Chain A
Amino acid sequence: DFQMTQSPSSLSASVGDRVTITCRANQSISRYLNWYQQKPGKAPKLLIYTASTLQSGVPSRFSGSGSGTDFTLTISSLQPEDFATYYCQQTYSTFTFGGGTMVEIK
């Protein structure tokens, strides 16, 4: 069973801040890790796949890194439209999402 743990579960930040979200797998998933952004009442939006590849159309302030069990999503300079919940997803074996990280306005 592949389980994904995100931290923190929520954070408060200001516009312009650098934000980092962590996702940890309970066993190695190589680089089979995707990141999504979800705003209230909307479907998730793919941001990054295979740990670090930016999906077409996603701003370059988003970046991802990691391999094995530890991964990070970084927003280099938080913008007003980035306040949302972020989910990681492993696709190494079946598919599992992390519990989510809510990014709120400070």
Chain B
Amino acid sequence: QVKLQESGPGLVKPSETLSLTCTVSGGSISNYYWSWIRQPPGKGLEWIGYIYNSGSINYNPSFKSRVTISVDTSKNQFSLKLSSVTAADTAVYYCARDPSSGVRGFDYWGQGTLVTVSS
């Protein structure tokens, strides 16, 4: 059974960089697309970006200048960095697996981790 687990600081100061890692267990990270999605408290879902086998990356244009997604296949992990954060970046951050660049949807999700941006 594939499982995803987000990890990282739950509190980040304004203007700093948010860093999260998603650890994938029960399956290989290779040959799948891996996405980050966030959800501000009480609001809807927002896709941040995906990575595929290190070579293909696609970001939501809304984040393009601030976001970096990378993968470490040796650790079966992928990561999110979001720079220059503000209170508007406070959200539950999810990682998810995507078998086929969105066509078949996000079939496995992590439980989500709340990141609060505050001084």
Contacts and interface: CB of A to CB of B under 8 A. Distances in A.
Contacts of A36: 45, 105-106
Contacts of B101: 91
B44 A89 contact: no
Contacts, number: 62
Residue of B50, B107, B111 contacting most chain A CB atoms (<10 Å): B107
Chain B interface residue count: which class? 20 to 34
A55 B35 contact: no
A94 B111 contact: no
Interface stretch (A16-24, A72-80, A95-103): A95-103
A7 interface: no
Given A46-B106, A94-B60, 18 more contacts: A36-B45, A43-B96, A43-B110, A43-B112, A46-B105, A49-B103, A49-B105, A55-B105, A89-B45, A89-B102, A89-B105, A91-B102, A94-B58, A96-B47, A97-B45, A97-B46, A97-B47, A98-B44
13 contacts: A36-B106, A38-B45, A42-B111, A43-B94, A46-B106, A49-B104, A49-B105, A87-B44, A91-B101, A91-B103, A95-B60, A97-B46, A98-B44
